[in-house]
Chain A
Amino acid sequence: MWRKLRTLSKFEWQMTWADKSILFFTLIAPTIYFVVAALNTNGHPLGTGNALIQLTGYWAYIVLVGVLNGFEFGLINLRETNFLKMFTVIAGDRRLIFYSNLAIQTLFIQVEMVCFDVVVIALDPTAVQYLPDMAAALLLNFLLVPIIAGFTNFFLLMPIKGNAISLIVMGYIMVGMLLINVSLPNEWALNILLTSLNPCSYVVLFYAAFLNLAHATTSFNGTLLVVVGLFYLMVGYYPVRHMRLQSLTSRY
Chain B
Amino acid sequence: MQIQDYSLVLPDGRQLFNRLTAEFVPGKVNILLGANGVGKTTLLDLIAGVSVGDRSHLVGFPTMDHIGYEMQGAPFTGNVTVLEALQMMRVLDVPSATLAEADLPVELQPIAHTRFRDLSGGQRRLVLFTGVCQLQRELYLFDEPENGLDLRAVKRVMAQISCLASSGRTVIMTTHQLRTLPEGTARVLVLAGQCIAFAGTPAAFMAETQTESLEAAYLKENG
- Asked whether A90 and B135 contact (CB < 8 A) given A3-B95, A246-B50, A252-B75, the answer is yes
- Asked whether A86 and B128 contact (CB < 8 A) given A18-B80, A81-B75, the answer is yes
Is A189's CB within 8 Å of the partner chain B? no
Is B77's CB within 8 Å of the partner chain A? yes
- Asked whether A11 and B65 contact (CB < 8 A) given A18-B79, A246-B51, A252-B73, the answer is no
Is A85's CB within 8 Å of the partner chain B? yes
- Asked whether A14 and B50 contact (CB < 8 A) given A88-B64, A90-B131, A92-B64, the answer is no
- Asked whether A92 and B66 contact (CB < 8 A) given A7-B91, A11-B88, A86-B128, the answer is yes
CA distance A93 to B80 in the complex (A): 21
Is B68's CB within 8 Å of the partner chain A? yes
CA distance A19 to B80 in the complex (A): 11
The answer to whether A86 and B91 have CB atoms under 8 Å apart is: no
Is A241's CB within 8 Å of the partner chain B? no
Q: B64 to nearest A CB, angstroms?
A: 6
Q: Give the interface residue-count category, chain B.
A: 20 to 34
CA distance A82 to B79 in the complex (A): 15
Is A15's CB within 8 Å of the partner chain B? yes
CA distance A246 to B41 in the complex (A): 12
The answer to whether A90 and B75 have CB atoms under 8 Å apart is: no
Is B89's CB within 8 Å of the partner chain A? yes
CA distance A90 to B91 in the complex (A): 11
CA distance A11 to B83 in the complex (A): 12
Residue picked from B48, B80, B91, B128, most chain A C-beta under 10 Å: B91
Is B92's CB within 8 Å of the partner chain A? yes
The answer to whether A90 and B71 have CB atoms under 8 Å apart is: no
Q: Mark A19-60, 1 if CB is under 8 A from B, else 0.
A: 100000000000000000000000000000000000000000
Residue from B41, B69, B75, B80 within 8 A of A14 (CB atoms) = B80
Name B's A-contacting residues (CB within 8 A): 41, 45, 48, 50-52, 64-69, 71-73, 75-77, 79-80, 84, 88-89, 91-92, 95, 128, 131-132, 135
Provide 22 A-B residue pairs closer than 8 Å at the C-beta atoms, listed in order of the A residue: A4-B92, A11-B84, A18-B79, A19-B79, A82-B71, A82-B73, A83-B76, A85-B45, A88-B50, A89-B48, A89-B69, A89-B71, A90-B88, A90-B135, A92-B64, A92-B67, A93-B65, A245-B51, A246-B50, A246-B51, A251-B41, A252-B73
Beyond contacts A83-B77, A86-B128: 18 other A-B pairs, Cβ-Cβ < 8 A, are: A7-B91, A7-B95, A8-B92, A11-B80, A11-B88, A15-B80, A19-B79, A78-B77, A83-B76, A85-B45, A86-B71, A89-B68, A90-B88, A91-B92, A92-B67, A244-B52, A252-B72, A252-B75
